[in-house]
Homo-oligomer: A and B are copies of this chain.
Amino acid sequence: MLSEAVPFCSKYWYHIVIFFVCFCYFYGDIHRQIKRRISPIFTKVFKYPDGIRTDQNEALDEVTDIIDNDEEEFMESALPKDLKHVPYQYVKPNEKELLRRANKFFEITNARRTIRYFDEENVPKEVIRYIIKAAGTAPSGAHTEPWSFVAVSNKTMKSRIREIVEREEEINYKKRMGKKWTSDLRPLRTNWIKEYLTTAPYLILVFKQVYGILPNGKRKVHYYNETSVSIACGILLTAIEYTGLVTLTSTPLNCGPAIRTLLGRPSNEKLLLLLPVGYPAKDATVPDLQRKSLSEILTEIE
C-alpha cells in the first residue's frame, strides 16, 4: 500500500498540500494562528495606504482573544478566589413610585441631543471627575473593568488631537468611506472640519483595554471588552446629560493609533469614543430628528 502511495504523493504533492492548507484554513486552528502571528508581520513589512484593513484585523484579534483564553499567558485569575458574598442592601419602592421614577428618567434621557457647537467656557474639573466615576460603575465581563478615560483640557493637546482627527477624517470623507457614508451624513451637516475639538473645554477619550496587565506583568483576559466599555459610555452620556452639560458621540475612524501614541497610552488600549464635553454654543442648532416610536423598538410577549 505504502509503496503504491509514494509515487502518487511525489507526483501530486502540490495538490495534497494545497488541499490540506485550505482545509486547515477554513476548519482548523491554523486559521487563527495565521491571523494572529503571521499577518501582523506582513502588515509591518508592507505599508498599506488603506488603513481600514488595520481596523478589520483589530476586530478579528478581539474575537480571537475571547476564544483563545486558555492560552498559558492568560492563565492568571481575574478575581480573588475567596471572594466573600454579602447581603444586598435594598429599599423597595411602591408601584406608584416605580412608575414616577421610570417616567422621570425617560424625560431626562429624552432631552439629550448630540451637539456639534460648543461654548469655550470652562467646566469645573470636579464635575468631569464625577461623570467619569459614574461611567466606572458599569458592569463588565468577570468584573474586569476594561476601560480607561483621558480627560484633556490642555489647549495645545486639544489642537494636536484636532489635527490628527481632521487629517484622517478628510481621507475618510474623500476616500475610505465611499459615497454612501458621506451622503448618509450630509443631512447632519458634518464634514472633516472639527472646530468643537478645540472650542469644547474638555475632550474625554474613551479607550477599551483589549487585555489587562496584572502586577506580575502577566496578561488578564478582558471578556466582551467592547460591549462593556460601550455600556460604560452609555452611563457616561447619561451622566453628562443629567448634569446639564452636552456632548457629541464620535467614533473617529482610523485616528486610534495616532491619538494613542500622542497620549502615551499602552498598546493594550484602543480608542473607542471621543467626546467633547462642555456647554452648548449660544446659537447651537440640532437636526430636527424624530426617534423611533416604542412600538417600532419593543415587542412584548405576555
**Residues of A that sit less than 8 Å from B by CB:** 14, 18, 26-27, 39, 42, 46, 48, 52, 55-56, 59-60, 62-64, 67, 69-70, 74-75, 77-88, 90-93, 95, 97-99, 101-106, 109-110, 112-115, 123-127, 129-134, 136-139, 141-143, 145, 147-154, 157, 177-181, 183-189, 221, 223-224, 226-227, 230-239, 242-246, 249, 251, 263, 272-273, 279-280, 283-289, 291-292, 294, 297-302
Closest to A228 in B: B230
Closest Cβ of chain B to A56, distance in Å, is 5
Q: B297 contacts A132, CB within 8 Å?
A: yes
Closest to A153 in B: B302
Closest Cβ of chain B to A70, distance in Å, is 3
Q: B101 contacts A186, CB within 8 Å?
A: no
Q: B184 contacts A99, CB within 8 Å?
A: no
* Copies of this protein chain in the complex: 2
Q: A294 contacts B180, CB within 8 Å?
A: no
Q: Which residues of B contact A235 (CB under 8 A)?
A: 109, 234-235, 237-238
Q: B284 contacts A106, CB within 8 Å?
A: no
How far apart sit A62 and B126, CA to CA, in the bound complex (Å)?
Answer: 39
Q: B291 contacts A137, CB within 8 Å?
A: yes
Whether A106 touches B134, Cβ cut-off 8 Å, given contacts A297-B147, A298-B149, is yes
How far apart sit A138 and B56, CA to CA, in the bound complex (Å)?
Answer: 25
Closest to A148 in B: B297
Q: Which residues of B contact A298 (CB under 8 A)?
A: 129, 132, 148-151
Closest Cβ of chain B to A187, distance in Å, is 4
Give the contacting residue for A88; candidates B132, B136, B272, B285; CB below 8 A: B285
Q: Which residues of B contact A223 (CB under 8 A)?
A: 181, 184
Give the contacting residue for A59; candidates B59, B123, B238, B283; CB below 8 A: B59
Closest Cβ of chain B to A117, distance in Å, is 8
Closest Cβ of chain B to A140, distance in Å, is 9
Q: Which residues of B contact A75 (CB under 8 A)?
A: 180
Q: A105 contacts B239, CB within 8 Å?
A: yes
How far apart sit A249 and B124, CA to CA, in the bound complex (Å)?
Answer: 33
* Pairs A-B, 4 closest by C-beta atoms: A234-B234, A230-B230, A70-B178, A102-B130
Closest Cβ of chain B to A4, distance in Å, is 24
Q: Which residues of B contact A79 (CB under 8 A)?
A: 184, 187-188, 287, 289
Whether A101 touches B70, Cβ cut-off 8 Å, given contacts A132-B297, A302-B154, is no
Q: A81 contacts B186, CB within 8 Å?
A: yes
Selected A-B contacts with CB under 8 Å, 6 pairs:
A70-B181, A87-B285, A102-B130, A114-B139, A226-B226, A230-B230
Q: A113 contacts B88, CB within 8 Å?
A: yes
Q: B230 contacts A234, CB within 8 Å?
A: yes
Whether A284 touches B88, Cβ cut-off 8 Å, given contacts A60-B60, A93-B244, A110-B137, is yes
Q: Which residues of B contact A18 (CB under 8 A)?
A: 18
